[in-house]
Amino acid sequence: MSPAVSGRRLVVLRHGETTHNAAGIWQGQLDSPLSERGVEQAYAAGAALAPLAPVRVVASDLQRAALTGEAVAKACGVDLSLDERWREIHAGVWQGMSGAEVRQQWPAEQEKLARGEDFRRGEHGEAVADVARRTAEALDELLAGLGQGETVVVATHGVAGRAAVAGLIGMDQAMAWTTLGGLGNCHWAEVAEGRVGWRLIRWNVGPPGVEAVPGPQSRA
């Protein structure tokens, strides 16, 4: 169970498994659907997060996150709102390609990813810095409307979620990429407000029975 917090609390939740996740496909901002397993994961996450009594659920408008957010919002009895700034990193021409295809055609870029270097994915996509800027803007607005002791859940994506959490706790994005690891499907990070700022309470926590199996760290 999460420790009691007196300040505001943020839960950053990665969406459930998609058909592309299961097939090892780079998604980025492709609007891939949840798999049957992903739907089950979403409802399990909703049941697990309900005891935190979130006052709001916000989700990326991509259906895999939106449907995950909808399941959580229903379980918690609160409204769901969508915000495109919580979308996953755009992976350019890599979107729709298999991990093996990307590794074969862009081996140097895959080495950069492994080292935590930041660059535009898929030649014309986004860098993590781009994602960090837009999620920070969305998060600032969201937290401004959150009262003392209240909790909000954001249903988003792996790279977007990690970038947002790192920015909030003041962690360098390259360090976050190489040290935090990926969030599993329907696993989340919990961040709480303390006396001197925000701190990471939990990372990659999931509902009972849902295994934390994130895809390769470089795959969005």
What is the spatial distance between Cα 57 and Cα 11, in angstroms, rounded to a whole number?
Answer: 9
Give the H/E segment covering residue 103: helix 99-105
Q: Which residues contact 100 (CB under 8 A, 6 or more apart)?
A: 24
Q: Which of 88, 109, 126, 193 is catalytic?
A: 88
CA angle (41 as vertex; 84, 161 as ends), nearest 5? 35
| Lookup result for tokens 């998609």 | 18
Residue 77 CB partners (closer than 8 Å, separation 6+): none
Query: Phi and psi of 115, rounded to 5°?
Result: -85, -5
> Among the options 15, 90, 157, 187, which is catalytic?
15
| Residue 88: active-site member | yes
Q: What does the radius of gyration of the chain's CA atoms come to, in whole angstroms? A: 16
Identify the residue whose tokens are 């909030």.
Answer: 168
Q: For 186, phi and psi rounded to 5 degrees?
A: 55, 35
Which residues participate in catalysis according to the annotation? 15, 88
